[in-house]
Chain A
Amino acid sequence: MLIRSAGPTDLRSSEITPESLYLSRREWLAAAGLTVGAIVGVGALLPRDAAAQQASGKPYGLQADDKPTPWEDVTTYNNFYEFGTNKDDPAELSRGFKPRPWSVKVEGLVKKPGNYAIDDLLKPSVVEDRIYRHRCVEAWSMVVPWRGIMLADVLKRAEPTPGAKFVEFTTLYDPSRMPGQRYPVLRWPYAEGLRLDEAMHPLTLLVSGVYGRDLPNQNGAPLRLVVPWKYGFKGIKSIVRIRLTDTQPATAWNVSAPDEYGFYSNVNPTVDHPRWSQAKERRIGEFLRRPTLMFNGYANQVSSLYAGMDLRKNY
């Protein structure tokens, strides 16, 4: 398996992160250390464990003050209702989960459907490390160094037919291994979906690792989706099926509360959740809230996908 940390991209050069923001791991550490030194007096505003961060990879569209969230937070503050509804449940209750062997079906409106062992699915692609902002619909956020492949790669290999318009993803359904599925909190199995052009976008990843290691169970092992300009719940975890369809797939949270969670669920500071504002977010480890960016800061790369659409209606 080829792993490289700066991968190929279809982004136009003007949209690529300026070199000044393109820090190596050592520079990250130095920057974090300097920040620690500079604001040690106002410790309350500091990201914790800043110096302990070991992220490497390409900081796609990251801003100077986006620092990778410590491993401990990334792996203990999780929404993964298949393992319980409290943030610390998934880390606790997924301990015995065995993410291998694992197979993923790629099917539906494709010329080459298949049922792949996870490693065979990943093998033909370039595995990349990319640091993305992660914005939860609950108005908290992280910066996460993911490791994964472009979803577009997998889809292209399956050769979608001209009728394919959407991609549907399904999580494993096995209440004996995922104890949260014993309770009807959501409709199981969890399902998510993207429009085909969203799925083919170079920012959209099938993720198999974080911080350079295999994905921990609580983060969606062994394979999850990451769509950095959408709210975190679109990033379906422990995927067993990828199906191309001609109709918009039903998605778990939309089924659960259609007035609160739409199919698109693009990060949008101007469209509030009915119960709270989305204008600001609390970055894990920080006390003061920061403004939420349109499309989570990836507007340059993705806003053309939604040209002419009413994003208030298509929330």
Chain B
Amino acid sequence: MLEIQDLKWSLPSGDGIINGVSFKTKGGLTVVTGPNGGGKTTLAKLIAGVETPTSGKILLDGEDITGLSVTDRAKKGVAYAFQQPVRFKGITVRDLLELAAGENMKYTSLCDLLGKVGLCAEEYIDREMNAALSGGEAKRIEIATVLARKAKLSVFDEPEAGIDLWSFSRLVETFEEIRSKNEGELIVISHQERILKIADEIVVIADGKIRISGPREEILPQLLAGEYTCSCPKRG
């Protein structure tokens, strides 16, 4: 379980991006949503250790991990899928997936793993994770590297961004599968209704604070109602 206590993070200029966020996950799938620029990606980076909070605490299963490096958090069981996939010259898809899994992988395991993001292993495992891959392909491989880790807590930052409808459907199934098999806790930053619909908990972040949070049954109807009444800011 992840617990965030009064977390704050500011730009070097002093502008607050995360302005006192506290919540506790309850296992399963937590979806973090909210308007653009509200601080969601920063929150994900703070959890992964890519950014260091100005103040506040992050606890994983009760243990304070706030001061741990990215590597140490990874070793404690935190996995993080970057919103923008990172490219490498000379490192193949297989290399990356094996690094993520921490072991050499059989072809069948690579097939299963890439299948979860709608990719065919035969076509991809020997390709380099370089700029020759399309945005959608790279994004799906990025997601696969996180799935390969079978981590205690996996954080996905807008997994839907840039991937096609069919791959997205497959990904939603994968998230449901992880949740139903209890294979690790998921935090997914997303705006997609289909992901919100499979959430256990929803946290809405705006202006660096939690606007509302709670079980999906309670939060989702409010969000969907808001979508119709507040679609145009001028109409209110």
A and B bind: no
Interface residues of A (CB under 8 A from B): none
